Every structure is written in structure tokens, then in C-alpha cells.
Amino acid sequence: MSQHSSTHEHAHGGTSLYVRTLITLLILTAITVGASYIDFGQGNVVIALFIATIKATIVALFFMHLRYDKPVNAVIACAGFLFLGIFLMFCFIDFGSRDGLRPVNWNGKLPVETAAPAPGAAPAPAQK
């Protein structure tokens, strides 16, 4: 049993590794905040998410010990993100390719709920 915990203790981890990990994360945070003050257009989103992904990976590999852990745990973690990616991808396919259809004689307004369903029973005159 002691063998088990000692493998966990010595094969990986150690205060110096954790300190270095923390410093890396803090530097990356500084970079991402700094980058947000520069205008890269669409690039800002990409940069921010890219750095966030690096940070998340570092946390997973070192703080969460995935680097030294049984591979099955890494597979499970990746599966979570993979299926989230699938979810995201298909939703974006739909929203990105909607046609934004409008009637030819559109007056710029979508009909809103009115109180009276019967014809001729229109409420107060519409302010147009």
C-alpha cells in the first residue's frame, strides 16, 4: 500500500513542479488580459480561447495529474470535451446557415401577440 502512495509521490508532482505550473498559469493570464487591449478583430476571440485552452490543459495535466494518471481517465476527460464539441459544431452549422427569410412586403415588424383573436375585434388603434 505504501508502495502505491509512494509511486504517486515520487513519480510526479513535487512542490517545485506545482510552483512552476502556477507561475506559467499566471503569466498566461497576464498575456490574455494584455492581448485583450489590442484589437485583432476576429482574432481576439481566437487568441483568448486558445490561451484559455492552453491554461486548461496545463491544469488538467499537472494539477489534475492526468499526465501521470491511468490513460482511461484522460480518455473520459477528452470524451467530455469531444461531445461538447459535437454539440457546439452542429448547433453552429444550423445557426450559421439559417436564411433570415422575410416576406417581400415586410413592414419591418414581426407580429406580436394581440389580445383579440376574432376579426373585427381589434383593440386600440395601432400606433404605426
Of residues 51 through 90, those in contact with another protein by CB under 8 A are 51-52, 55-56, 59-60, 62-64, 69-70, 72-73, 76-77, 79-81, 83-84, 86-88, 90
Closest distance to another protein from the beta carbon of 27 (Å): 11
Residue 41 phi, psi (nearest 5): 65, -130
- Given its phi and psi angles, is residue 65 left (phi above 0), alpha (psi -120 to 50 degrees) or beta? left
Among 11, 18, 31, 67, binds another protein (CB under 8 A): 18
Is 14 a residue that touches another protein (CB under 8 A)?
Answer: yes
Q: How far is the CB of 10 from another protein (least distance, A)?
A: 10
Cell of 40: 485583432
